[in-house]
Amino acid sequence: MSIMPILVPFVVLATGFTTIMILLYRNLQRLDEEAGDAWRRVQEQRTARLDASLRLLDALDAAGELADAPTADIRQALAACRGADGPEAATEADSALARAWRSFSAVADMRRIAALDCAHEAIGQLHEADRLLPTCERLYNNAATMYNNAGVTFPALLVARRAHYAPRPPYRPQHLRSASEVASAADTETLADKSPRIMNAYMLWAVGMSDTITEEAGR
């Protein structure tokens, strides 16, 4: 009796199963790479924001505008943000930076700072970084979620270990949500007259945010 009728279906099934496993393995790797690329884009915007924040502090310090507004906590938070390794550490460090800026805003003259010529360039760079960062943040979190779900879903979980699957943590830092209140308290029309490059005082607080936008910022 020939065993071919038995072997053929077995070979077909084995080949099909192997093909599926290979596709799942490659898909898991692709999702991991996409999440990694998305995180690198987040890091690029975080770095741009940190650089602009430091330039702003240095400009204000050189202009003698920080005598009554201590910035040691902000500089320490900036250093921690720069050294943060991975989404979890970055979430914690960026949240601490937002709190430091909030404390700074409580004692600083926001209208005066926003109107200073020496602050214009840094504020513009902060605004641009925080205009792009929310999109990068969402793309990373979406990519991380897709990868994380794929790694624990059958049948992909059968190849997860071989694909070196490791869940990617989300990046959800605390944002300076009280910034809109700071902006509304400022004389935005006067600021606009003083400097057409400054949309309002709220823009300054793009430093600590990534997704809070006020209607005044679009004027």
pLDDT, greater one: 214 or 81: 81
CA gap 214, 180 in Å, rounded: 6
Run of H or E residues at 16: helix 4-62
Question: What's the pLDDT at 155?
Answer: 85
Residue 201 is encoded by which pair of tokens? 């005082």
Average pLDDT over every residue of 15-33: 87
Q: Using 50, 70 and 90 to split pLDDT, how confident is the model at 5?
A: low
CA gap 176, 56 in Å, rounded: 17
Residue-wise pLDDT tens digits, 67-114? 666 678 888 999 999 999 899 999 999 999 888 888 887 777 767 777
Question: What's the pLDDT at 67?
Answer: 61
Average pLDDT over every residue of 62-68: 69
Domain ranges in the chain? 3-170
Average pLDDT over every residue of 160-168: 90
Question: What's the pLDDT at 3?
Answer: 65
